[in-house]
Amino acid sequence: MTTGPLRILLTEDDGPIRERLARIIGEWPEADLCAACANLEETLIAIGANEIDLLITDINLPDGSGIDAIRFLAKRQPKAEAMVISILADERSVLDAIEAGAAGYLLKDADSIDLLDAIRDVMAGRSPISSRIARVLVRRLAEQGQVASDAEKTADKPSLTEREMDILWGIAKGFTYGELADKLAISRQTVPVHIRNIYRKLQATNRSEAVFEASRLGLIKL
């Protein structure tokens, strides 16, 4: 973090909002507003012409996306930070901005105190986000966690044939080889072959281990 005033670049296509934000930053003794841009082209030029500490940008711009400005900044000035101020709160916009390098994401209903506090947070290594954005991220993380959990469970479960599942249920209920053969209408000599396959797939060495592992993996419920 710089020891002097924060060098801030602002990008906002809406004139009145741009002027309001520029005034807030300009009147703040801890900051130096390098430029207040109205579109992506102006922003890219300003990034090339100024050493900045923080880019504050909208996403929807007349000639492109503020996310492209964040990516450009990350390449040209990797030590600089970026923060989004936007009306967009959809999952795709939020995730794209954060993946591009945005350290904060505020909605445009933030007042001057929220803005300055957010700037301080970003420059201190924190990630200020509006509550609606936080919900988007929490929901997304929860979905990813569920997908990962489901994938892990699927990967952990061995693939047993229908006949092997029948026999697994039988040994879980305590049936003998003869009882299993009669119940399933198969030869008694075939039962041990299926059981050996079940043990191998479940990495078990006996009936108890096989039943325990099958229950742990959710293949059967005792």
pLDDT(130) > 90: no
Same fold for the pair 6-142 and 162-216: no
pTM given for the model:
0.63
Q: Are strands 64-65 and 60-61 parallel, antiparallel or unpaired?
A: antiparallel
- Among residues 67, 56, 68, the alpha carbon closest in space to that of 93 is found at 67
pLDDT(3) > 50: yes
pLDDT(40) > 90: yes
pLDDT(110) > 60: no
CATH code, residues 6-142:
3.40.50.2300
Per DSSP, the three-state class of 78 is coil
pLDDT(93) > 50: yes
Domain ranges of the chain: 6-142, 162-216
Each residue of 46-83: pLDDT tens digit? 999 999 999 999 999 999 999 999 999 999 999 999 99
Q: Is 68 exposed, middle or buried (0-12, 13-18, 19+ CB in 10 A)?
A: middle
CATH 3.40.50.300 fits 162-216, yes or no: no
Most confidently modeled range among 41-45, 109-113, 157-161, 172-176: 41-45
Reading the block at residue 8, the tokens are 């801030």
Per DSSP, the three-state class of 100 is helix
Angle, alpha carbons 62-65-69 (nearest 5°): 120
Residue 1 pLDDT grade (very low, low, confident, very high; cuts 50, 70, 90): very low
pLDDT(205) > 90: no
